[in-house]
Amino acid sequence: MKVGFVYDPIYLKHDTGQHIENAKRLETIISHLEQTQLKQQLIPIKPGAASIEELSLVHQKQHISHIQEVAQRGGGWIDADTVMSANSYEAALYAAGGVIKATGVVMNGEVDSAFALVRPPGHHATAERAMGFCLFNNVAIAAKYALAKYKLERIAIIDFDVHHGNGTQATFYDNPQVLYISTHQYPFYPGTGSIDETGIGEGKATTVNIPLPAGGGDTEYLSVFDQIIIPVAKRFKPQLILVSAGYDLHWADGIAMMQVSTTGFAQIVKIIKGLADELCSGRLVFSLEGGYNPAALASSVKATFDMLLGNTNIEDPLGQSPHQFEVGSIAPLIKSIKEIHTLA
């Protein structure tokens, strides 16, 4: 299997100081991939900067200009969660451009799949607003780009970040060409993503939200993939799958309260890869979103690459969660979602 990875030191120049979303995230990932000698199994993909035209596929010109102006002033806080430095605008251009480039090399058959190790992340960014650590919506931009460039009719976006991707949902809420599926802790930031948010107009039923209770782990997530995500994706028959890959649902990540393990992430990726192989000739692109415990993030990203490469020996140095959470049965939730989306 030919698996590509996007990375560039420009992503480290998005200097957020002591913010939880900081350069150490990527530095730890790259170091771990090198130390485990997995990096040499991957095909490097050099990103370019997204153009204003490409950003404008999703974002209003006023928003793009605002992000540029904040950077020119030396940076600052966009909101209570999101901070920029002088180089953040350039880094964000290369983040969006990196996911576009990964999508292009997959669509052109240069690699079988790819993972864009980019920052700042993107799935909270809306057409007119930066929020939740995100400046531009990298995956949404890449999806719009692929629809236009390759004349695709159907793209699926699977978002397994612990937070709901409100920006991605809003971008495609009325678009029947894009199936957006999100698993997320609920209720939690940003407050969106209830089961009855299913799309509007022609996009009705192409948004599938799976709001999970705190404490959910490997068992709950795999049940959701088996009973909801697999049948929904098979019914939609995407020609490309994009993944907003957030590793903040790992049990060791302090930003939320999910209990997924590195082994659990490997199983999730195996399912997604199986869907891509069956439905769209393996065309699959991952983009990094959350994940704020460096050790958990690095091991989980490596496990993702291992599954994409077909390596079956998954290293899970942190193991299963030592915490005991009383998570009630999610069977009623699954039943309700299956009824809403008419799944057998």
The residues carrying an active-site annotation are 124
Q: Is 90 left (phi over 0), alpha (psi -120 to 50) or beta?
A: alpha
* Distance, CA of 90 to CA of 140 (rounded, Å): 18
Q: 3-state secondary structure string, 232-300?
A: HHHHHCCCEEEEEECCCCECCCCCCCCEECHHHHHHHHHHHHHHHHHHCCCCEEEEECCCCCHHHHHHH
Tokens of 49: 């900067």
Helix (H) or strand (E) holding 84: strand 83-85
Q: Find where tokens 């690095």 sit.
A: 298
* Distance, CA of 239 to CA of 46 (rounded, Å): 24
Alpha carbons within 13 A on the beta-carbon side of 276: 26
CA distances in angstroms from 159 to 8, 41, 58, 71, listed in the order given: 23, 26, 18, 29
